[in-house]
Amino acid sequence: MKRLFAALLMLALACCVLPYGARARASDGDEQAARRVLVMLRMPPQHFRPDSSYGGGYADDGTGAARRRQASELADAHGLKVVDDWPMPAIGIDCFVMEEPGDAPLERVLDALAHDPRVAWAQPVHPYHGLEDGNAHGGDPLYPAQPAARLWHLAELHRVSTGRKVAVAVVDSGVDGAHPDLAGQLLLRQNFVDAMPDAAEAHGTAVAGIIAARAGNGLGIAGIAPQARLMALRACWEAARQETLCNSFTLGKALHFALLNGAQVINLSLGGPADRLLQTLIDTALARDVAVVAAVDPQRPDGGFPASLPGVIAVTQAGDRRALPAGAFQAPGIQVPAPLPGARWGLVSGSSYAAAHVAGLAALVLELRPGTTPPQLRRAFATAPRTTLVAHDPGRALEQAGSIDACATIARAAGACACQCPTTAAVTADPLP
């Protein structure tokens, strides 16, 4: 009891200091971004090289200079200026960022580019944002306050699986790799926001911590998959008013990097408009059996993009009484303790953090069943029975836990009882293939 009181006291103190430092502000380039378009040029098939040695440059690619010349010619022909580019051999295109320096309607520019036979396709640079509602284990002081500790029986799950060596790409704002709960947890770190320097930011750090915070280190929380290895891919940044912002180009670069560097799970705790470039990259990931987990935008009836894409595991916070998009799951996402930059912790809420729970759970399954495909993961989550978790208030417990029975999911993957054995025994006869 004393221990629980101490944990809750520490959590309360952490929440009192939640705002930290001066936030990175949206750069002046954001206004320029509104005048920019993405122009895709096809790469010859023989130059498709989907391996981890490809870093995004034109090394060993004899056609790169020709494509740059072609992009310059296109820009001149349409009154544009080339400002950036990123080759994406995983989907067979070079992505060029071009800016309209005047005041011509971008719709007219995009229409002209669409009719140019040299262009695979052209599109706007769409904005995206993190999906949060604001901030609000033995040896981990905040473990008793974690919803997953009680509702998902996390300590019991960790006796069966910890997500060992599963690579999870966190495509988000900057992750604080020096945080005590994340020290040693990052497989790699990459910044794709060229307009501003790399930084440790709240949204990305909290998402990463919920997925894979160190367990049993005497500090903070235990991640859902504490032995997973995180790829911290900064495609978003924090602007004024604590907003987490991204765009098509930064997200596209990060997703392409994840594809070429062995990500097994990609977490996208963000939402925005439908985007052809991002959809092509996500479809490619799914075709390679990479699980893609995305946060549901509760303001959109279909859950928003990319959560609404077929094959994506869409997640919202448990207890959300708004109508759920078809096929979406619920997971703990309200008042979740999580790491924050500067060796601190605080409470976070939103579908961003519910998605992080499910990305961690996917890593637990993939440790046990490395060949599990995204459709098999979805079936594992969907067919798990819902159980009574708290005897005195079963309805509320189910609402807080969400629509995924983590114990049953891991029991199916392991082919043996994980926790709540009388409940999950029925599903062990039908393990994952």
State the catalytic residues: 172, 203, 352
Rounded Cα–Cα distance for residues 79 and 100 (Å): 7
Angle, in degrees to the nearest 10, between helices 202-212 and 351-368: 30
The 3-state secondary structure of the chain reads CHHHHHHHHHHHHHHHCCCCCCCCCCCCHHHHHCCEEEEEEECCHHHCCCCCCCCCCCCCCCCHHHHHHHHHHHHHHCCCEEEEEEEEHHHCEEEEEEECCCCCCHHHHHHHHHCCCCCCEEEECCEEEECCCECCCCCCCCHHHCHHHHHCCHHHHHCCCCCCCCEEEEEECCCCCCCCCCCCCEEEEEECCCCCCCCCCHHHHHHHHHHHCCCCCCCCCCCCCCCCEEEEEECEEECHHHCEEEEHHHHHHHHHHHHHCCCCEEEECEEECCCHHHHHHHHHHHHCCCEEEEECCCCCCCCCECCCCCCCEEEEECCCCCCCCCCCEEECCCCEEEEECCCEEEEEECHHHHHHHHHHHHHHHHHHCCCCCHHHHHHHHHHCCCCCCCCCCHHHHHHHHCCCCHHHHHHHHHCCCCCCHHHHHHHHCCCCC
